[in-house]
Chains A and B, each alone.
Chain A
Amino acid sequence: MPNTVSSPGVLSGRLPASKVTKNFSDLHEPFRNHEASVAADRCYFCYDAPCITACPTAIDIPLFIRQIQTNTIDAAAKTIFEQNILGGMCARVCPTETLCEESCVREVAEGKPVEIGRLQRFATDSLMKSGIHPFSRENSTGKKIAVIGAGPAGLACAHRLAMYGHDVIIYDSKEKAGGLNEFGIAAYKSTDEFAAKEVEWLLEIGGIDLQLGFELGKNIHLNELVKQFDSVFLGLGLGAVNNLRVNGDDLENVSDAVQFISGLRQSDDLTSLEVGREVLVIGGGMTAVDAAVQSKLLGAETVTIAYRRSKDKMGASTFEQELATSNGVVIRENLNPKSIIGNGKVSSVEFEKTQQTSEGLTSTGEAVMIAADQVLVAIGQALSVDEERLEFVGNKINVSSSGRTSCSGVWAGGDCVSGGEDLTVTAVAQGRDAAEDINLSIMG
């Protein structure tokens, strides 16, 4: 008898393959031509538009939408890519509801913003599908730059440097390029191998050599890179996962959410993935929501997100929270994990209720038990790089506004640096801006 959503334990095949395929299809359907025309017509072409200001990469949104209106879709895409070479992915994963679309004057006026994200996807998909790479490389400068990390920051930096004619080597520790775009984003936001296709398309600029299986501090070292290259850019991901450090965190079926999501993204057959009947996700950010929603979509009977503070403090946006609840995920706030209980395998988690007081987050003294046969921990990730040559703020690399680190000849950007939100689009902006500064620095 095949497994169902009610079958106890951590099992695969809870849902028929057709249902899983449907569940993991595009979160936002791409626009058809007519829909794009209608959506584009709503843009007011604002002066000094607030949406541009709200975009970390400062894409000229009114211009690209006007180019869609006039049916010059490739020009629209180029307007986007000039500012954000990963505009295709950002159109899928950006929390537009807290960026461009939140600031759209039509959101303010009507509660219905121009659908900038979907229009951006319409334009970028159109150009990328046509097989065109819209930029060309300047004559070779003979300068060599090492980029560590093939995530959004590293890719954006490498592309811009390659455009200027520099020779770039990207080193990445994983077996595939893309960083979180490839391993971290929820599957329904990046369907049809988009992350991998985007990297391939980006590399068409030429002059970029992708070297996989190289990890900083293991088989490549900063002091050597600095000598071998004209400049170095660090676009490192947050390799370490914060641990719960409570009793029972070593029980079977307790794992980190990042690993769960990564396994899901790399799976060829989603029905082969195991998921619990009662899944409990601990955390309150985008990773928690991604893990929770995908557990539900794989067929878990109940999925609960437990967050130690109140909902309004969650890192996940209201839109993300609603996405979770609309998929049947229960979000419970003010629950601080105390211990994970089980006999070999997890069976429940004990929490203490919390409240926000003038002394900060304190316990109310009440205990809450939540049954769970699978626990996914999503309480943040940390940078795991030990480089005495770099200066840190907290546990992140300290950089100037143009991405310069304390170490001469080394720039950094993306999740590994202090300042800015840990968003794909922020990483792209930082990578691009560092490339501009590197170019000025080595050509000056």
Chain B
Amino acid sequence: MANLSSEFLGIKSPNPFWLASAPPTDKEYNVRRAFDAGWGGVVWKTLGEDGPPIVNVNGPRYGALYGADRRLLGLNNIELITDRPLDLNLQEIKTVKRDYPDRAMIVSIMVPCEEGAWKSILPKVEETGADGIELNFGCPHGMSERGMGAAVGQVPKYIEMVARWCKQNTRMPVIVKLTPNITDIRYPARAALKGGADAVSLINTIASIISVNLDTMSPEPSIDGKGSHGGYCGPAVKPIALNMIAQIGNDIETGGLPISGIGGITNWRDAAEYMSLGCGNVQVCTAAMTYGFKIVEEMKSGMSDWMDEKGYTSVSDFIGSALPNVTEWQHLNLNYVAKAKIDQDSCIKCGRCYAACEDTSHQAISINDDRMFEVINEECVACNLCVDVCPVENCITMEPMKPGELDTRTGKIVLDEYANWTTHPNNSGACVID
């Protein structure tokens, strides 16, 4: 059985599955249950500065986006940072860390953008025996109105400044949690690096309005007829996070900066994809909030079985393996030609591929009187839409053509050599190669 043990910034955990800073990690009771269930580590829900705790709304905090059968695809929240006293949280963190020394204990912090505030809280956190801190520069709602969370994360120079204060005032590793509510994720990542951060974690939630109640005309979750934007997370945000992680990993400045991946991770496969793009570990929230802590068992067995199948003995064997294959569009091989192929034995004749192709794409699928659907190679551009809408996995596949074969759509022979847009004759800016 593959070894799932993980080391991130020198912090050891029995597996790379941590719980993200969020409601599931707000108090001792939950975190003990998480550790008992097998989670490798937690990022304790964000602590604020000492004094009267912040307050939350007393109505609904969450809203949902559903798929078929009310499967939760996206969750949005307007909850703020912990609303419990600082001392109580610190005391509980200390107790739990003492009882679970093999698990990673990271503490998320969000205090005002003043050095004094950070200097004041850091020793208190350090005193708990926590393994590291995560700077919450990501919350897009509520706290950002008060100059914290995403309000900091959207200004690279503030990120750099606060990261530096933290590095100067604690021996604990510093992880900067990034907000996706920016135009280019590389700028805040570079700032974190410049400030001396040991790692970044991403993504925090995406600013969102999840739904509108058409009877009351109020955004949801609705508080007495009004709603404010919240933070969006869950399976639906995974593609956004993966791209940002690859951008940081492939950036000339931030490449190699340790990343803790966050965003809709629901099962072992999601986690493996994040790690293949360079994340040293992953953090989970929505999936645990949807299904409970037990999901970690599937994540562990799934990743372990997959690693065995691939011959990986440690997670470090595959971390970052997919990153070199993330390239720019202009470098994609334009001589690569594929065609859709429908396996008639597994086809159930629903015709969704036909509707999609005929109505919205390339009219490259035919239907006959027996509802047999076949690809018209002369029209197929291999867009993959038929594959994506087919309800039967692997019924439609994209089959690469072999060099030397005739692509009947273009009338050209498929070439063996690689050629991309930079040298394409239609590109007026192409460099001519002799």
- The residues of A with any CB-CB pair to B shorter than 8 Å are 37-38, 41-42, 44-50, 105-106, 108-109
Contacts of A47 in B (CB 8 A): 350-352, 354-355, 367
Contacts of A109 in B (CB 8 A): 348, 392
- Report if A44-B350 is in contact (Cβ < 8 Å); known contacts: A50-B371, A109-B392: yes
Q: How far is the CB of B369 from chain A (nearest CB, A)?
A: 11
Contacts of B351 in A (CB 8 A): 46-49
Contacts of B215 in A (CB 8 A): none
Bound Cα distance A37, B354 (Å): 26
Q: List 14 A-B contacts (CB under 8 A).
A: A37-B69, A37-B70, A44-B350, A44-B391, A45-B352, A46-B350, A46-B352, A47-B350, A47-B351, A47-B355, A48-B367, A50-B349, A106-B348, A109-B348
Contacts of B252 in A (CB 8 A): none
Chain A minimum-CB-distance residue to B392? A109
Chain B minimum-CB-distance residue to A45? B352
B432 within 8 A of A: no
Chain A minimum-CB-distance residue to B67? A41
B433 within 8 A of A: no
B68 within 8 A of A: yes
- Among A38, A48, A105, the one with the most B-chain Cβ atoms within 10 Å of its Cβ is A105
Contacts of A41 in B (CB 8 A): 68-69
Contacts of B367 in A (CB 8 A): 47-48
- Among A42, A46, A106, the one with the most B-chain Cβ atoms within 10 Å of its Cβ is A46
- The residues of B with any CB-CB pair to A shorter than 8 Å are 68-70, 348-352, 354-355, 367, 371, 391-392
Contacts of B355 in A (CB 8 A): 47
Contacts of B70 in A (CB 8 A): 37
Q: How far is the CB of A103 from chain B (nearest CB, A)?
A: 10
Contacts of A106 in B (CB 8 A): 348
Contacts of A108 in B (CB 8 A): 348-349
Chain B minimum-CB-distance residue to A108? B348
Bound Cα distance A48, B366 (Å): 13
Q: Is the CB of B350 within 8 A of A105?
A: yes
Contacts of A42 in B (CB 8 A): 68
Known: A46-B350, A49-B351, A50-B349. 7 other contacts (CB 8 A): A42-B68, A47-B350, A47-B351, A47-B352, A47-B355, A108-B348, A109-B392
Contacts of A49 in B (CB 8 A): 351
Chain A minimum-CB-distance residue to B389? A44
Q: How far is the CB of B393 from chain A (nearest CB, A)?
A: 12
Closest 3 CB pairs of A and B: A47-B351, A47-B355, A109-B348
Q: How far is the CB of A328 from chain B (nearest CB, A)?
A: 36
Chain A minimum-CB-distance residue to B359? A47
Bound Cα distance A108, B354 (Å): 18
Bound Cα distance A108, B392 (Å): 12
- Among B70, B348, B352, B392, the one with the most A-chain Cβ atoms within 10 Å of its Cβ is B348
- Among B350, B351, B355, the one with the most A-chain Cβ atoms within 10 Å of its Cβ is B350
Question: Out of A37, A38, A44, A50, which one reaches B352, CB within 8 Å?
Answer: A44
Bound Cα distance A281, B68 (Å): 47
Q: How far is the CB of A61 from chain B (nearest CB, A)?
A: 13
Bound Cα distance A11, B305 (Å): 68
- Among A41, A42, A45, A47, the one with the most B-chain Cβ atoms within 10 Å of its Cβ is A47
Contacts of B391 in A (CB 8 A): 44
Bound Cα distance A47, B349 (Å): 9
Bound Cα distance A227, B354 (Å): 53
Chain B minimum-CB-distance residue to A46? B350
Chain B minimum-CB-distance residue to A48? B351
Chain A minimum-CB-distance residue to B371? A50
Contacts of B349 in A (CB 8 A): 46, 50, 105, 108
Chain A minimum-CB-distance residue to B356? A47
Q: How far is the CB of B354 from chain A (nearest CB, A)?
A: 5
Bound Cα distance A49, B352 (Å): 10
Contacts of B68 in A (CB 8 A): 41-42
Q: How far is the CB of A106 from chain B (nearest CB, A)?
A: 7
Chain A minimum-CB-distance residue to B354? A47
Bound Cα distance A91, B391 (Å): 27
Contacts of B354 in A (CB 8 A): 47
Bound Cα distance A50, B372 (Å): 12
Q: How far is the CB of A101 from chain B (nearest CB, A)?
A: 14
Contacts of A45 in B (CB 8 A): 352
Bound Cα distance A318, B351 (Å): 28
